[in-house]
Structure 1
Amino acid sequence: MITVDFALLPVGPGNRVLDLGCGNGRHAFEVYRRGADVVAFDQNENDLAAVETMLDAMRAEGEAPPETTPDTEAVKGDALEMPFDDASFDRVIASEIFEHLPHDTAGMSEMYRVLRPGGIAAVTVPSWLPERLCWALSEDYHTTEGGHVRIYTRAELEAKLKATGFEIGPHHHAHALHSPYWWIKCAVGPDNDDHPLSRAYHRMLVWDILNAPLPTRLAERALNPLIGKSVVVYVRKPLHSGDRA
């Protein structure tokens, strides 16, 4: 399930891409398929091991574009103090990470530091309305360790990114059909995976991801601006990166 629009974050051979807070690696895998070098970065060793295994399998299956040999690396670390040189990435994907960080602006500053001048980053966080409903339906949803510590409006997210020094670009919403699933989960208990309603909706989502039928694609496109689970903002580090906004 890809959240980032790669038409707005073009990646390909010759690009070095950081998947910041890579989780299960969905964006790292897509970056690899497009022929770019990718660094999967996360604090979770188990997730990183699984991502590294999958990238190795993709390499063995020849899933990168012909005549390309993208480099891949899985790195464990803290988003507030990344072990990378300044300006060492052409692109950064930060998908659903800043809502977890107690010091989100420090994380944004680190992202700014490791991105080269002129480079582009895609930042995704949960959208305000779907997230607000999740918080209202379940206290456990946002109070468990490692959970979400804040709810962003798009204006707040863009203001923080601009204050960091980024130039703000386009935005969009994604995954509207996933919002009702999380509302159901919160209503019946976030850890109650056996509830018939949540199980049925999850099966529908898996079917939709695998088959991508036109009616649900059109429905999601229409609903995304209203109840899209994620909002995605694209930003650029100025060429003269010493001049911060």
Structure 2
Amino acid sequence: MHGVGDVRFFDRIAPLYDLVMPSAEAETLNAALARADNPVERVVDIGGGSGRATLALDAPERIVLDRSVGMLGRAQNRGLDCVRGDARSLPFDDDSVDAVTVVDAFHHMPNQQAVAEEVYRVLAPGGVFAISEFDPETLLGKGLVVAERVVGFGSSFAAPRELARFLERVGFEVSLLDTGFEYTMVAKKRESH
């Protein structure tokens, strides 16, 4: 899911990733999934890496999708279903997924427009796209933007209102679940587009 340079970085740090990253906020993620119109049976965590956020999701079928082989190896070791792939071309049928999540990774994804359009395509009507992302307008967010540039990432951050407008243009109904340094946006696929 990351740019090519970002993927290489995540392949290298995969063994240490879970030691330095906090666990995902299960309550917030599951509250986002609860916004779906129907029960969430199948969820895909794009840019899901080691599966740390996927493990927090309350759904019978949880799939981690990422481009980093090293990170997917960690997720497989946790017993999670894994798919190596690109979020710009999701390997799922139209209307076949109840929810898609992306936790702390959307800013790494090149061509976010294509990613959002693909998520919209694979989501069942009434399904949700839950995005946990960092707000570049907060003090910590400004620091993260600088740090990722120094590391050489091609990150593209958006403040909540920018991300909401972007997702609405794709066709989603958008609501902000929480705010702060890390915020969570829920984008629902309308019943008819």
Aligned-residue offset at 1:103: 1.0
**Contact 2:177–2:184 (CA under 8 A) maintained in structure 1:** yes
- Please tell me whether residue 43 in structure 1 is matched to residue 50 in structure 2: no
**Contact 1:13–1:37 (CA under 8 A) maintained in structure 2:** no
What pairs with 1:63-78 in structure 2 (closer than 5 Å)? 72-78=80-86
Match of 1:25 in 2: 51
List alignment gaps of at least 5 residues for structure 1: 56-71, 174-227
Can you list the C-alpha shifts for 1:159-215, whole angstroms capped at 9, x where unaligned? 111111100123203xxxxxxxxxxxxxxxxxxxxxxxxxxxxxxxxxxxxxxxxxx
List alignment gaps of at least 5 residues for structure 2: 1-22
The equivalent position to 2:187 in structure 1, one of 235, 239, 243, is 235
Equivalent residue letter for 1:158 = A
Cα distance between partner residues in 2 of 1:116 and 1:35 = 15
Q: Kindly report structure 1 stretches of 4+ aligned residues shifted beyond 6 Å.
A: 11-14
Change in 2 beyond 3 A, CA 1:157/1:49: same
Match of 1:120 in 2: 128
SS where residue 158 of structure 2 aligns? coil
Aligned-residue offset at 1:229: 2.9
Match of 1:81 in 2: 89
Match of 2:8 in 1: none
SS where residue 121 of structure 2 aligns? helix
SS where residue 53 of structure 2 aligns? helix
Match of 1:133 in 2: 143
Cα distance between partner residues in 2 of 1:88 and 1:170 = 25
SS where residue 33 of structure 2 aligns? coil
Match of 2:24 in 1: 2
Aligned-residue offset at 1:35: 4.6
Greater helix percent: which structure? 1
Aligned-residue offset at 1:14: 6.3
- Please tell me whether residue 109 in structure 1 is matched to residue 117 in structure 2: yes
Cα distance between partner residues in 2 of 1:51 and 1:20 = 12
Task: State the superposition RMSD in angstroms.
Answer: 2.2
Match of 1:191 in 2: none
Between structure 1 and structure 2, the one with the greater Rg is 1
Change in 2 beyond 3 A, CA 1:118/1:35: closer
**Contact 2:160–2:176 (CA under 8 A) maintained in structure 1:** no
Match of 1:177 in 2: none
Match of 1:188 in 2: none
Aligned-residue offset at 1:143: 4.7
Equivalent residue letter for 2:149 = H
Equivalent residue letter for 2:44 = L
Change in 2 beyond 3 A, CA 1:150/1:14: closer
- Please tell me whether residue 151 in structure 1 is matched to residue 175 in structure 2: no
Cα distance between partner residues in 2 of 1:170 and 1:134 = 21
**Contact 2:50–2:75 (CA under 8 A) maintained in structure 1:** yes
**Contact 2:129–2:187 (CA under 8 A) maintained in structure 1:** yes
Can you list the C-alpha shifts for 1:94-142, whole angstroms capped at 9, x where unaligned? 1122211231111111111111111112112111222223334x4xx32
What pairs with 1:142-181 in structure 2 (closer than 5 Å)? 142-145=149-152, 147-173=153-179
The equivalent position to 1:92 in structure 2, one of 100, 104, 121, is 100
Aligned residue pairs, count: 165
Cα distance between partner residues in 1 of 2:171 and 2:124 = 13
Change in 2 beyond 3 A, CA 1:78/1:143: farther
Greater strand percent: which structure? 2
